[in-house]
Structure 1
Amino acid sequence: MSNLAANLTDTAGRVPHRPAVRLGREVLTYAGLDEASACVAGGLIAHGVRPGDRVGLVLDRAPAFAALYYGVLRVGAVAVVVSPQLGRDKTHDFLDASGTRLCFAEGSDAAQPTEPDLPARCLRVTVGPDFLDQVALWPQHAGLVHRADDETAVVTVAPPADGDPFDAAAASTGLSHRELQLAAFIAATLLLDLKPSDTVLSYAPMSGTFGQTCTLNAVILAGAALSQPLNPDDLTAAARTIDQHGVTILAGELAVFSAFSALLHTAPRGLSGTTLRLGVSSRPPPSEETRTRITGTLGVPLVEAEWLTGGH
């Protein structure tokens, strides 16, 4: 095993013109994602980022996240992945404790009215809707920096339990290239049986371990396609997406499957005749009754990945 980003370069070499990640009408093929991540890598090198440096990613939009994630890994740096919903103070403390020196963060909008507070030494790069167009102008670095299996690839944050104080150091979880490679392999082969013809519609945040392992990394390894809903609350539009893009796997928290079940209960024709074959949840249903209700309505089996990702 080596750099996790090799999964992207290998797959781009095999199926360059297949869609890799999609958000609404924004689509990156494997060749496009490989090129975008190479531009990110070139930009990072131009900013002095070197192997082992910490680079923050405070965003969840799949195409930009994927380009940044693999671009950071390409240069041997460590992706410090933080949910945009973590909050200003916790984001500041976590990035500070992790030694992050450069951070890519979503700009403020109606859904994220307050931009994250970054440590003084941390250079901020705002990620807006046209970010990938800007990245295309950056110098490319197509190579991969070799990383040992046990070297850290990604650092994630585990939010505290309700009522517990936030300890930035204790909340930090480092994942090595080996751990992420193995998790992607298990998810792609044993859990999901992913094929290049599969399309995964993911409601899982890219900032979480589940979103990275069971959707992004597994999809890239298998050469499948990852789709993200433009508006997660619009289930009717998501049902159309499932039909239009031939979605075969639905991924997310259990609440997503419950919401879809409720939708289909009131509008049974919503997903009839689709190619959907599997659901994967970050946590198991609270009871077999819940599982039976969900799987019976959706018409597909539901598997859990909590044992693989810790439920994050």
Structure 2
Amino acid sequence: SLSQWLGASLYLLAHLPHWVALFHASGGSNLRSSGSIYPQYSSNEKAIKYARNQLHAFLTLSFPELESYFSSVASEYALEMIQLFPHPDSLLNYSRTKVKNLIYKNTKKNISQTKALLEAESILTIAKDAYPAVDNDSLETFLVIDWASKLQQLVRQKKEIQKKLIDRAQSFKEFYVYTSFSGVGELTAALLIAELGDITRFDNHKQLNAFVGIDIRRFQSGDSPNYDKISKRGNTLARKTLYLVITNMIRSQTSGPNHIVDYYYRAKKQPHAKKHKVVLIGCMDRFLKSIHYLVLHGKLYDYDLSPK
């Protein structure tokens, strides 16, 4: 909204001298320094991915139907339920009331007695039709509980790390520039700061493109015509973060006008529609050009002043 934009603008102007001094003193963003929270975030992401794969491998053997029962097995509630009932027999040995009480007392989800009873009936139904490949007392079933517990701890840790990452990112002027774009949330802005650092060290946005690895290189093979391809020589994680930025902008286009989203739909129009990847690279280029200018001049994003 206009009031939010004005508030952020005033905050940016008030703190600009402090940020300039901070950047000169630190040489740019310190989110990627050895003592930073950012390496913990990266390690946590990898650990979560590994734990999910391990849980999937063993749950497929002990109670595969649970994977389709929950919309996400990595949610707090799903992981609590999996630890309670890692195998169909862990349910079928109990009455409906006993299962209801276990759900009500052992999950942190705000659930009523009535809702817990309905949940008990639903999960008992799938347990009766389940076909596990291992026994309830098998090592595989034990490992389901173990990996569900580990994944639960990692997911909780991720939330804590995200909060710390955002809190630290708010010390940088880029945070307010990036979040002034519709579709760029606080966590995404923090990740961009961590990956791109102080972008004022680049003389122009083309140098920033090269740092990220989306600068265009022209190739020629024999008698075939020239073709263009991005170099991919730059920061892989930065490219992944930028991909997330652009896809979020497209998905959340109703949250506010954005000239980058406008370009995306123009470029996808027939009869000369560009390929999806080509359009995404074009969007990244426009975004990097915009943030480089805005950060350099201490301004927030304004759709009415953006190039159309």
Identify the TM-score tier after normalising by the shorter chain: under 0.3
Q: TM-score, normalised by structure 1?
A: 0.22
Q: TM-score, normalised by structure 2?
A: 0.23
Q: Normalized per residue, which structure has more strand? A: 1
